Structure formats: C-alpha cells, structure tokens
Amino acid sequence: MKKLITRTRLKKRVKELGLEISKFYKKEEIVVLCILKGGFIFAADLVREIKSSPVIDFLEASSYGDGKESSGAVLIKRDVGLDIKGKNVLIVEDIIDSGFSLNYLIEYLKKRKPLSIEVCSLLVKHKKHKAKKNIRFVGFEIEDEFVVGYGMDYRGNFRNLDYIGIYEDLV
C-alpha cells in the first residue's frame, strides 16, 4: 500500500482545521455531526482541537455498501439523536467523492431547521466533486484514488492505520 498522507501531516492539518473552526464559530455553540463510520477517528481528533466545547452526535449513512463505487442511493443507517433545531451544525466527513451523499445529507438535515450547516471534510476528490454546497473546511484535496486508513476502510479493513494510503490491490 502506498502512503498518501502520513500521520505527521494528518496531525498538523487536523490541528490547523481545529483552529480554523474555532475562529469561525468563536464562542458559538456547535453540534459536530460525525458521519460514521469513516469519520470517527478524524472527528475524535478534530473535536480535541476545537477551542469551544462542541456537542457531538453521529449519523451513519452509506452509498457504497461493500464496493468501491457509490451506488447512487443514500441509506440512513443511524439517525441523529439530538434536536438540532436552531443549532449550528458542523458535518464532519472523512471524504467527499462526487458530493452526492453530502448534498443528500444537507437537504435531509435542513428539514430539522438548524440555524446553520457547514461541512468539514478531511479529504475531497477535487476532480470528481460535483456538490453544489460549499465545503467550508477541507483537510486535503486528493486525486481520484481509493484510499483507506485513519477511519476509512475497504470491506471493514484498514480503519486502524494511522496514515492514509492508496489501496491499489482491488480486484
């Protein structure tokens, strides 16, 4: 497996993102909404770098199943537990590919009338990204590679890697 982003680069960029988010929200209350499963390690590291005390919740959505390409249909597997009406919501994603799932989630969450919705994604595939919504906080822009590690997986494997690697062994 080829290393794309080392643990050192990840730590540095997550710290920077935490500062950017802290400056953006100042002392305002925010709900950090971690998109499971891939975003859990990134979200855990990120909230430790945010200077305010964010409320944290989780939503699990999938459009990949066991494959490496999006199916085109978003399935909500675990819904938000908090009432987000009137709250600032920060969606924390591991990776944004085409942006299809993100657009779906934003529209889904808007129905609950939050005060605001912003997005922080560790990775964005800049050539494939077609989302019309603004992604306010981006860790790294990457090429169209299938990546694993730092929470991201292939068929449940490789989430525990402390770096992001390009998984080249797909058959």
User: How far is it, in rounded angstroms, from Cα 138 to Cα 167?
Assistant: 22
CB 56 within 8 A of CB 34: yes
Residues with a catalytic annotation lie at: 97
User: How far is it, in rounded angstroms, from Cα 122 to Cα 95?
Assistant: 6
Buried b (16+ CB within 10 A) or exposed e, 24-61: ebeeeebbbbbbbbbbbbbbebbbebbeeebbbebbbb
